[in-house]
Amino acid sequence: MDWKRSRVMENKTKRQLYERIETQMTGRSVRELDLELFCARSLAEKLDISRNLASQYLNELFYEGKLIKIGAHPTCFLARSALENDGFASVYDNAEDLWNQADQLQEKRSVFSDLIGGNGSLHYAIEQCKAAMNYPGSGLAVLLHGPTGSGKSLLAAKLYDYCVQRGLIGSEGRLITVNCAEYSDNPDFFLTSLFGYTKGAYTGAEKDSEGLLALADKGMLFLDEIHSLTPECQEKLFLFMDKGVYHRVGDNQKWLASTVRFVFATTENPDQALLKTLFRRIPIVIQIPALKERPLTEKRELIRYILETEQTKFKMSVRISESAYRLLEQHEFRHNIGELKNDIQVGMAGAYMKAIKNASPTLDLHISDLPSGLVRNPLRNPLMDQGSVSRLLPLGELLPRGGGESRYLLFYQAAMQNYERFQKHELSLDTFLATTTLQLEQYVDFLFFNNENFSSPQEEIVQSLLANINRPLNKKYGMPELSNNEIKILARYFTDLLQNEPISAVELRRRGRSISDFQETLKTVNPKLVSIANEILPLLQTGLNLPLGAFEEITTTLFFLYFNRGYQPAPIPVVIMAHGYSIASGIAELANQLLHQNIFTAIDMPVESHFETITNKLKQYLSEIRNCHEIIVMVDMGSLEGIQKYIDQTADLDIGIINNVTTKLALDVGAMIMEGDSLETILEQAKQRSLPNYVIIKNRVRPKAILTVCSSGIGIAGKIAALVENSFPKKMDLTVIPIAADTLQHRQASGIFDKYNVILILGTLNLKPQGIPFISIEDIINQSDSWALKEKLGMLMNDEELTVFTQNMVRNFSLDNLIDYLTILNPEKIIVYVEEILEQIQKRLEFTLSNNILIGLYLHISCLIERLIIDKRFVYYLNLEKFEAEHADFIAMIREVFGRVCRAYNVVIPTAEIGYLYNYIVQGKSVEKQVECVEESKSELMESVGFTE
């Protein structure tokens, strides 16, 4: 069967598997599902495919975001599309957690479901509120703190609904809302309103009157803008909260009681705006985020939600022009959702009038309908491209951009994970930088993939902005100007930021510490590049109206490092000039990259540009160049004479000019510069050496590398890389690089093969890149083909080292998995004991256990110890007496080799457990049930870390 056909078949099976899961779930809530039917084994049986294939597809579907995972023994998979609610997480430790979440989501749907951000940026706030409402008695008072228009009043109303729905407030309990700002100039009026008054309490009080406390009895009192109450009013309020009783104004004798739930709201810092006594009486302060702190998806949802709500009022179908939509999406509303809603309402009223006038059947909202303050300076906003003004989007098309996480977010996560591994000393600085740069490269590949030649109007704006700041940077820092290609890459990156969801404020806060450490680390690598990034970002931020933070600074610095701006200037710099938009920059970049030196600078000569402009650029470059008295200019065919005319008067600089520049010649020249040859020698040699077929450079400069790859994504490939690196028997002169399977498939697209001499690929998926040997991770662990292993790894290590390597792999693989299986024991510690036990057992029994059995035993013994520590349940062993009688030696041996660990953890191994160990070790495969069990747990293990057979 050819490759393509088998791929199609595989995809068909994968689709069937997914459909099977969906069908089995149809019409049932998660509580009604028999989860056993959703594990790899059961699904494989139904579809008549191998269990391993099923688990491979299940894991792929999981990483594609289509399935969620539950538990580990066995792992079950459910289709996200068939779940009764949005908002389920990707992984649950057990069915109980899943069910609890289902209940919570169900509950949320009833009250908080139309609260946008209820499962996102408001999730924690809602959870806190619910806890406060459910507190025994009449709940705890809460204070909602957030800027104006952020949704505090709406949340207060939802809390009331929630209490009613949960029966915390009965049918007689009302929601009374008071805007305290209305009383700020008249505290007495507030007190009479709150507590009520008796006849004659003040002039005009003609009869007794109940106050708000009485009206809100057994219900909820929402006091908005609480900071505007005078201290006296705050004090009185506090006294009531403290005692639960009050007097009406005008009657100091009679005590009245009221059971009220309090919700307060303020836009001010409560620490400063509230009386200490009152503030202390409000135990729960809940932060409501500003609109700009919420993820873009939520803002998009809000826009759509508001438009839809308004649409129902006008009874007309509504469309919005793309540019108006973009403007709403990008604009920073100081008064948050309230202002967004207001502006949309104003816009729709205007659009409605127009529709009526033109007898149009639809209400079309254009930029011109929106309030003028919003459209202040649309040209400053690069998203306001003219081409899109007229495109009208029906509301159904405004769905927030789905499709899981953006590639930038994935890059962010990968880079941060790398950094955290570097912090934990799992990666050296060099490996960390190399791996992160490769991930950046993969992100760049993605930015250019599919639309290599397409550039959007926004991108052109970004590009020209970058081109404008290029020269001052070069002047200030002496950094070679960014080439056209480099500008293009950066422009794509910033355009991607403009068009996609930024990393959420919450996430940035969560990793704030690591991000600033990351910046510090980059400063140690190249402080100059960090300051350059630091300098250009504010300019771009203003120019693009795009918030750029610490992580963007990191990424920009990484881009500079990637462009090879990090290296010391070469002793003899070379300027390449060639006709064409990016021919010269292409050659210069590649040569700099391959030589790992910043030798070449490019001056591109677009065909339409004037020769004089170009030579002026060269003159400028030559006049600015510092600390250097020799330079080489490489020009393309036919430019030699013209150039010569222009530069022969330049003083204090020897200039060599070479005609007919090619990449090969540039590399040649670069290599000689690095060797320290003189200008004359280089020119002379270049003339002679530049013959067809002359090969230098590549092999000499490319460092060796092993790639690790996994179909389940870069995350698992990273795990494999760590596993391999940690298992090397000695320090190896190579880099281990994790790589995503799809990058490997576009071999040309990624620069890995240019930069590294890839000697081996290790992983779970053989993509067969030409001529590079591949070893599967299972082959190493199972040692299933020792000849092949020797052949492929022989170039790196001798036989003895190979044995140590595979032993280490087995140990580290088991350790990786143990982390998922142990709850109380520290896997790193216990594995040392188990390693010793296994070594002893093999020595005493005088035979070598297979790696398969060893992995099983690492797991079994570690879990056995933990089991003995936490629950000392009796283990049943068939014919125990017979076993004791026949295998006394074995039992004694085991007790002896386990001695150290038993003493350390204060446990005793029951003989029945030794019986099982005996079966495991000595009888091996003949104990059918047991082997099945080992195989089972092994498959689960492989599955749980994303490895598939």
Ligand X SMILES: Nc1ncnc2c1ncn2[C@@H]1O[C@H](COP(=O)(O)OP(=O)(O)OP(=O)(O)O)[C@@H](O)[C@H]1O
Cα separation, 81 vs 911, in Å, equals 50
User: Does residue 456 touch ligand X according to CB under 6 A?
Assistant: no
| Site mask for ligand X (CB under 6 A), range 408-447, x = bound | ----------------------------------------
User: Does residue 153 touch ligand X according to CB under 6 A?
Assistant: yes
- Least Cα distance to 146 among 51, 286, 258 occurs for 286
Q: Which stretch binds ligand X (CB under 6 A): 110-118, 543-551, 760-768, 837-845?
A: 110-118
| Site mask for ligand X (CB under 6 A), range 303-342, x = bound | --x-------------------------------xx--x-
State the nearest-atom distance from the C-beta of 157 to ligand X, in Å. Answer: 8
The nearer residue to ligand X, 153 or 650, going by C-beta atoms, is 153
State the nearest-atom distance from the C-beta of 341 to ligand X, in Å. Answer: 5
The nearer residue to ligand X, 224 or 866, going by C-beta atoms, is 224
Residues facing 605 on adjacent strands = 579, 580
The nearer residue to ligand X, 267 or 851, going by C-beta atoms, is 267
User: Does residue 458 touch ligand X according to CB under 6 A?
Assistant: no
Q: Could you write out the DSSP letters of every residue in 237-276? A: HHHHHHHSEE--BT-SS--EE---EEEEEESS-HHHHS-H
The nearer residue to ligand X, 154 or 893, going by C-beta atoms, is 154
What tokens were used for 562?
Answer: 């990637």
User: Does residue 566 touch ligand X according to CB under 6 A?
Assistant: no
User: Does residue 150 touch ligand X according to CB under 6 A?
Assistant: yes
Q: Could you write out the DSSP letters of every residue in 843-877? A: HHHT-PPPHHHHHHHHHHHHHHHHHHHH-------
The nearer residue to ligand X, 374 or 479, going by C-beta atoms, is 374
The nearer residue to ligand X, 152 or 811, going by C-beta atoms, is 152
Cα separation, 789 vs 689, in Å, equals 41
User: Does residue 117 touch ligand X according to CB under 6 A?
Assistant: yes
Cα separation, 840 vs 160, in Å, equals 67
Q: CA-based angle 628:629:631, to the nearest 5?
A: 90
What tokens were used for 122?
Answer: 């408001």
State the nearest-atom distance from the C-beta of 398 to ligand X, in Å. Answer: 15
Tracing tokens 């990016």 back to the chain, one arrives at: 582
- Least Cα distance to 546 among 733, 740, 329 occurs for 329
Q: How far is CA 281 from each of CA 209, 211, 241, 315, rounded to the nearest angstrom?
A: 28, 22, 7, 48
From the number of C-beta atoms within 10 Å of its C-beta (0-12, 13-18, 19+), residue 203 rates as: exposed
| Site mask for ligand X (CB under 6 A), range 495-524, x = bound | ------------------------------
User: Does residue 74 touch ligand X according to CB under 6 A?
Assistant: no
Instruction: Report the SS3 class of residue 613.
Output: helix
Cα separation, 822 vs 32, in Å, equals 30
Q: Which stretch binds ligand X (CB under 6 A): 147-155, 319-327, 524-532, 606-614?
A: 147-155
Binding test (CB under 6 A) with ligand X, winner from 61, 79, 83, 116: 116
State the nearest-atom distance from the C-beta of 115 to ligand X, in Å. Answer: 4
The nearer residue to ligand X, 337 or 942, going by C-beta atoms, is 337
State the nearest-atom distance from the C-beta of 35 to ligand X, in Å. Answer: 34
Residue 169 CB partners (closer than 8 Å, separation 6+): 160, 163, 218, 219, 220, 261
State the nearest-atom distance from the C-beta of 309 to ligand X, in Å. Answer: 9
Q: Residue with the closest Cβ to ligand X?
A: 151
State the nearest-atom distance from the C-beta of 905 to ligand X, in Å. Answer: 52
State the nearest-atom distance from the C-beta of 338 to ligand X, in Å. Answer: 4
Q: How far is CA 540 from each of CA 328, 932, 935, rounded to the nearest angstrom?
A: 21, 61, 57
User: Does residue 223 touch ligand X according to CB under 6 A?
Assistant: no
Q: Which stretch binds ligand X (CB under 6 A): 141-149, 720-728, 860-868, 938-946?
A: 141-149
Site for ligand X in 224-243 (CB under 6 A): 224
- Least Cα distance to 322 among 262, 386, 401, 372 occurs for 386
SS3 of 636-690: the string is CCCCHHHHHHHHCCCCCCEEEEECCCCHHHHHHHHHHHHHCCCHHHHHHHHHHHC
Beta carbons of 43 and 54 less than 8 angstroms apart: yes
State the nearest-atom distance from the C-beta of 594 to ligand X, in Å. Answer: 54
State the nearest-atom distance from the C-beta of 229 to ligand X, in Å. Answer: 15
Q: Which stretch binds ligand X (CB under 6 A): 142-150, 398-406, 588-596, 807-815?
A: 142-150
User: Does residue 149 touch ligand X according to CB under 6 A?
Assistant: yes
- Least Cα distance to 904 among 842, 832, 855 occurs for 832
Site for ligand X in 48-67 (CB under 6 A): none
User: Does residue 151 touch ligand X according to CB under 6 A?
Assistant: yes
- Using CB under 6 A, count the residues that bind ligand X: 18
Beta carbons of 76 and 69 less than 8 angstroms apart: yes
State the nearest-atom distance from the C-beta of 129 to ligand X, in Å. Answer: 13
SS3 of 147-172: the string is CCCCCHHHHHHHHHHHHHHCCCCCCC
State the nearest-atom distance from the C-beta of 306 to ligand X, in Å. Answer: 7
From the number of C-beta atoms within 10 Å of its C-beta (0-12, 13-18, 19+), residue 867 rates as: middle
Binding test (CB under 6 A) with ligand X, winner from 52, 101, 148, 277: 148
Cα separation, 573 vs 622, in Å, equals 10
Q: Which amino acid is at 786?
A: S
CA terminus-to-terminus distance, the chain? 20
Helix%, strand%, coil% for the chain, nearest 5: 60, 10, 30
Instruction: Report the SS3 class of residue 319.
Output: strand
The nearer residue to ligand X, 74 or 149, going by C-beta atoms, is 149
The nearer residue to ligand X, 334 or 401, going by C-beta atoms, is 334
Q: Which stretch binds ligand X (CB under 6 A): 148-156, 524-532, 918-926, 936-944?
A: 148-156
Binding test (CB under 6 A) with ligand X, winner from 51, 69, 152, 811: 152
The nearer residue to ligand X, 184 or 663, going by C-beta atoms, is 184
| Site mask for ligand X (CB under 6 A), range 247-286, x = bound | --------------------x-------------------
User: Does residue 696 touch ligand X according to CB under 6 A?
Assistant: no
DSSP class of residue 450 equals S
The nearer residue to ligand X, 145 or 860, going by C-beta atoms, is 145
Q: Could you write out the DSSP letters of every residue in 530-547? A: HHHHHHHHHHHHHHHT--
Binding test (CB under 6 A) with ligand X, winner from 47, 82, 95, 115: 115
Phi/psi region, residue 783 (left: phi>0; alpha: psi -120 to 50; beta: rest), is left
The nearer residue to ligand X, 306 or 775, going by C-beta atoms, is 306
Q: CA-based angle 673:679:682, to the nearest 5?
A: 60
Q: Which stretch binds ligand X (CB under 6 A): 111-119, 564-572, 674-682, 828-836?
A: 111-119
Binding test (CB under 6 A) with ligand X, winner from 37, 47, 82, 154: 154
Question: Interface with ligand X by CB under 6 A: which residues?
Answer: 115-117, 146, 148-154, 224, 267, 302, 305, 337-338, 341
